[in-house]
Amino acid sequence: METAFTPWASLSGGVLIGVASTLLMLFLGRIMGATGILAGLLQPKSADDFAWRAAILAGMVSGPLVVWVVSGQMPAVQVPISPFMLVIGGLIVGVGVTYGGGCTSGHGVCGMARLSPRSIVATITFMLFTFATVYVVRHIIGVS
């Protein structure tokens, strides 16, 4: 499935992700990592800890709705794979981010931005494995 090249929309989105990451550190002193926020929500340390995490998640979920209200269009979610692959992928992502201690937002954006050696290694590792996996799935197994 082809998708259009959208440098400006993607850059604007990236800038907003950076603004959100900066503001979360400024106000709450936390890393804007989806894995960390979700994991803490599933096993909160206290009611207070649960509350700010739930608030961020609620805000995240509101994001596409804000885009919809402002632009009149719901952001595109095109899923070119089967539900079975989606479940397998989700399970694998859940295991990987738990052992790896973060994902694209925590390691890839926040960790890289503070030049954390662990995050740089994590990001290079998962990017390489994602490239390799997509190559194998689409061009060797031939699912696309």
Q: Which residues inside 22-51 make contact with another protein, applying CB under 8 A?
A: 22-35, 38-39, 42-43, 48, 51
- Smallest distance from the beta carbon of 13 to another protein, in angstroms? 2
Site string for another protein, 111-140 (x = CB under 8 A): -xxx-xxx--xxx-xxxxxxxxxxxxxxx-
Nearer to another protein, 39 or 72 (CB): 39
Give the end-to-end CA distance of the chain in Å, rounded to a whole number: 8
- Smallest distance from the beta carbon of 38 to another protein, in angstroms? 6
Nearer to another protein, 44 or 52 (CB): 52
- Smallest distance from the beta carbon of 77 to another protein, in angstroms? 5
Q: Is 37 helix (H, G, I), strand (E, B) or coil?
A: helix
Which residues are CB-neighbours of 135 under 8 A, at least 6 positions away? Answer: none
Task: Check if the beta carbon of residue 57 is closer than 8 Å to that of residue 38.
Answer: yes
CA 69 to chain centre: 23
Whole-number Å distance between alpha carbons of 135 and 127 = 12
Binding footprint of another protein, residue count (CB under 8 A): 113
Task: Write b or e for each residue in 64-77: b if 16 or more Cβ atoms lie within 10 A of its Cβ, otherwise e.
Answer: eeeeeeeeeeeeee
- Smallest distance from the beta carbon of 72 to another protein, in angstroms? 14
- Smallest distance from the beta carbon of 42 to another protein, in angstroms? 6
Considering only residues 55 through 114, tell me which ones interact with another protein, judged by CB under 8 A. Answer: 55-67, 74-81, 83, 85-101, 103-105, 107-110, 112-114
> How does DSSP classify residue 75?
P
